[in-house]
Amino acid sequence: MLAIDGSAGEGGGQIIRTSLALAALTGKEIHITNIRAKRPKPGLRPQHLTAVKTLAKICNAKLKGAFVGSKELVFEPGKIEDASLVANIGTAGSISLLLQQVLPVSLACNLKLRVFGGTDVSFAPPINYIQKVTFHYLRKMHAELALNILARGYYPKGQGCVTFESRQCLPLKPIRFTSLGSLQKIECYAHCSGMPAKVAKDSAVVAKNTLKDLLGSFEWVEHIEASPERKQTIGFGVDLFAKYSNCILGANSLGLAGSKPENIGEKAAKALFEEISFLAPLDSHCIDQLIPFMALANGKSIIEGKLTKHAITNIMVTEKLLGVEFKVDTKEQRARISVDGIAFTI
């Protein structure tokens, strides 16, 4: 049984997600200790537990230590099978992070999944990011994925709903992203629930004007999504995507009841400008997400971007589970990351 120290690297949920997903794919039994040891509330939280149990259903795994607060987990995977499942996190726990947990395994089967929880919450990628950026790159690798946002869910009540589908598509194709290309347009998705549509519109206006001051002229495509009558979850957000000829960069900002739309719009714009200014083809949120898929692909993959703690952690875990060796060439904060994939298939 493979031992995984959950306190290694950034010591958060990323180790759980990557190690369990790759263990499920490869059929390796693993024992994770010190789960989320470096977080304010260590151990499994409801969102992690729901993700683990959902993954276990897909690969018929046996679990020991699967309860809220658990700092130790034994995962014994079985056969991966097609599935149609419902996962209810029960809180505003991130739907995006649950999808990250099952994504690698979803490529080895035909999966239909309906998830209830938080679509737009702190310390997790917004659901638009998963749909517009993460899936964009995975489709370049030949992944067949579909995601529909049925309802938004904000902190603290959640109440969001997303449907996800995948088809068996292994082995994956390798990727190579080493340059930005030319900027084609910037897309804005401003959304709110339980608030007037003006909140979303005002935050989008400020985001656009802030970026104009920082970048000059560009094509702007705006999407406003408002559900003022929907009071069971209250919040708003701005998701921005810079679409280049070679890649997509994303950034966002979230607001709660009482937050000023102009502050949220400006914060999202400055976050996107920071990603653009780095001049890398992958933003700081995407680079770690692609690491496991690069190792699974049939051939050599190369990407460039900011070397984050999440990326370093995912490299460490992926090397341990798949037996690959990543090459990381760094120049200041920028890194070129490459690996010869194992052409994994079922």
Residue-wise pLDDT tens for the chain (346 aa)? 999 999 988 888 999 999 999 999 999 999 999 999 989 999 999 999 999 999 999 999 999 999 999 999 999 999 999 999 999 999 899 999 999 999 999 999 999 999 999 999 999 999 999 999 999 999 999 999 999 999 999 999 999 999 999 999 999 999 999 999 999 999 999 999 999 999 999 999 999 999 999 999 999 999 999 999 999 999 999 999 999 999 999 999 999 989 999 999 999 999 999 999 999 999 999 999 999 999 999 999 999 999 999 999 999 999 999 999 999 999 888 999 999 999 999 8
Cβ pair 87, 54 in contact under 8 A: yes
What is the structure's pLDDT at 145?
Answer: 97
- C-beta of residue 95 within 8 angstroms of C-beta of residue 114: no
| Residue tagged 């505003």 (tokens) | 92
Q: Would you kindly state where each structural domain of the chain is located, as residue ranges?
A: 2-176+283-339, 183-277
| Residues whose CB falls within 8 Å of the CB of residue 167, separated by 6 or more in sequence, listed in order | 110, 144
User: What pLDDT is stored for residue 245 in this prediction?
Assistant: 95
> How high is the pLDDT of residue 181?
94
**The pTM is what?**
0.96
What does the alpha-carbon distance between residue 16 and residue 119 come to, in Å, rounded to a whole number?
20
Catalytic residue numbers? 310
Residue 346 pLDDT: 87
Whether 183-277 and 2-176+283-339 are alike in CATH topology: the answer is no
Sheet with 183-193: list strands edge to edge: 220-227, 183-193, 235-244, 248-255
Fold topology of 183-277: Dihydrodipicolinate Reductase; domain 2 (3.30.360)
Structure confidence at residue 333 (pLDDT): 83
pLDDT of residue 9: 82
CA distances from 273 to 177, 229, 240, 241 (A): 20, 33, 10, 10
**The CATH number of domain 2-176+283-339, selected from 3.65.10.20, 3.40.630.30, 2.60.34.10, 3.40.190.290:** 3.65.10.20
Question: What is the pLDDT, as a whole number, of residue 332?
Answer: 83
- Residue 64: predicted pLDDT: 97
Residue 263 zone, left/alpha/beta (φ > 0; ψ -120 to 50; rest)? alpha
Distance of alpha carbon 236 from alpha carbon 223, whole angstroms: 13
Beta strands 176-177 and 144-151 are unpaired
What confidence score (pLDDT) does residue 57 get? 98
